[in-house]
Amino acid sequence: AYGERITIANTDVSRVADGDVVLSPSLNTAGESVFTISGNSKVTLDGFEGFPGSTSANQDITILNCIGGGPDVTVKNVNFHNSNSVGIQSSNCTLSIQDSEVSGNTGIGISATGGTLEVQDSEVSNNAGIGISATGGTLEVLRSKILSNKSGGIEADGASYSILNNFITYNGDSANTNAAVDLSGTAAEQIFNFNTLTGNQVSAGLTTGVTCALGALRTNTGNIIFGGLGGATPIQGNCN
C-alpha cells in the first residue's frame, strides 16, 4: 500500500510506491542482507542509517537487485557504512543516490552492474575497495566527494559516464595499482569535466590521476589534476 512503513534490521524504511512493488529483505548464502525490488514503480529510501558497525550476519551489506524490468530506486539522506563487504551493490537498477554517505566499508563503496547509477551531492569515503565502480550501463557522478578510498576513486568499465564537478582526492595507498579514476570502454557518452584530483597515491611508477583506455574519453574540460604520491604521471592513455 502507498506509504506503508516497514521495519528492517531495527531501521525504519519508508516504502513509497504507486503500484506493485516488493521490497523484501532476505539473507543470501554469504549471510548478507539482500533487498529484491520488483515491479515498475518508484521506491524511495529516505533518511535512515544503513547497518552501522554491526557484526551481525544480516547487517553486513545492502544489495539492490532490480528484476522485472527494474524500477527507479532513490536513496537520499542515508548513511551506509562499516559493512563487511560492499556498501551498496546494484544489478540492473536505475539507482539514484542523493545527499548520502557511503563510508568505511571493507569492499567497494558503491558497485553497479548494468542499469543506471547516479551519485549526486554525496560522499564516498574510506572504503577498502574502489569508491565507485560501474560495469556496463550508465554512470553519473555529480558534485560529490570521492576521497580516501584504498583502491582508487572511480572506475567506469564499459559504461557510459558523465563525471562532473567532483573532488576526487587522497584515494589509494602505497600498494594501490589503480589510478584515482580509471575509464575504459567505448560507450557513447564519455564526459569527464570540472573535477579536482589531488593527493591520490599508487605504487611506484604507476598513474595517480586518470587512466583512459583507447576511446574511453571524448570530453575532458576544466579538470585540475595534480600529481599524487608514488606515481610516474598524473594522466595516462587516451585522455584527450
Percentage with pLDDT > 70 across the chain: 65
User: Using CA atoms, how far apart are residues 2 and 194, in angstroms rounded to an integer?
Assistant: 40
pLDDT value, residue 89 = 83
3-state secondary structure the chain: CCCCEEEECCEEEECCCCCCCEEEEEECCCCCEEEEEECCCEEEEECCEECCCCCCHHHCCEEEEEECCCCEEEEECCEEECCCCCCEEEECCEEEEECCEEECCCCCCEEEECCEEEEECCEEECCCCCCEEEECCEEEEECCEEECCCCCCEEEECCEEEEECCEEECCCCCCCCCCCEEEECCCCCEEEECCEEECCECCCCCEEEEEECCCCCCEEECCEECCCECCCEEEEECCC
Q: Specify the range with the lowest mean pLDDT, choosing from 52-61, 96-105, 192-201.
A: 52-61
**Gyration radius from the chain CA atoms:** 18
Which one-letter amino acid corresponds to residue 193?
N
pLDDT value, residue 22 = 39
pLDDT value, residue 227 = 73
Torsional sign, CA 209, 214, 219, 221: positive
Q: Are 84 and 53 in contact (CB under 8 A)?
A: no
Higher pLDDT, 217 or 114: 114
Q: Is the pLDDT of residue 134 over 50?
A: yes
Q: What is the mean pLDDT of residues 123-148?
A: 96
- Which cell goes with 43? 521506491
pLDDT value, residue 141 = 98
- Which cell goes with 154? 572511480
Q: Is the pLDDT of residue 30 over 80?
A: no
37-51, 118-132, 194-208 — which one is most confidently predicted on average? 118-132
Q: Is the pLDDT of residue 78 over 90?
A: no
pLDDT interval class at 63 (50, 70, 90)? low
Give the pLDDT confidence of 163-211 residue by residue, as tens digits.
Answer: 999 999 999 998 999 999 999 876 777 899 999 999 999 998 888 899 8
Q: How many CA atoms lie within 13 A of 73 on its CB side?
A: 31
Residue 77: closest CA among 50, 54, 59: 50
pLDDT value, residue 35 = 55
Relative to beta strand 5-8, strand 11-14 is antiparallel
Percentage with pLDDT > 90 across the chain: 37
Relative to beta strand 219-221, strand 190-193 is parallel
Relative to beta strand 167-169, strand 190-193 is unpaired
Give the pLDDT confidence of 7-29 residue by residue, as tens digits.
Answer: 333 333 344 333 333 344 455 55
Q: Specify the range with the lowest mean pLDDT, choosing from 55-59, 114-118, 190-194, 226-230.
A: 55-59
Higher pLDDT, 148 or 184: 148
pLDDT interval class at 212 (50, 70, 90)? confident
> 182 pairs with which residues across the strands?
155, 211
pLDDT value, residue 133 = 97
Q: Is the pLDDT of residue 4 over 90?
A: no
pLDDT value, residue 109 = 94
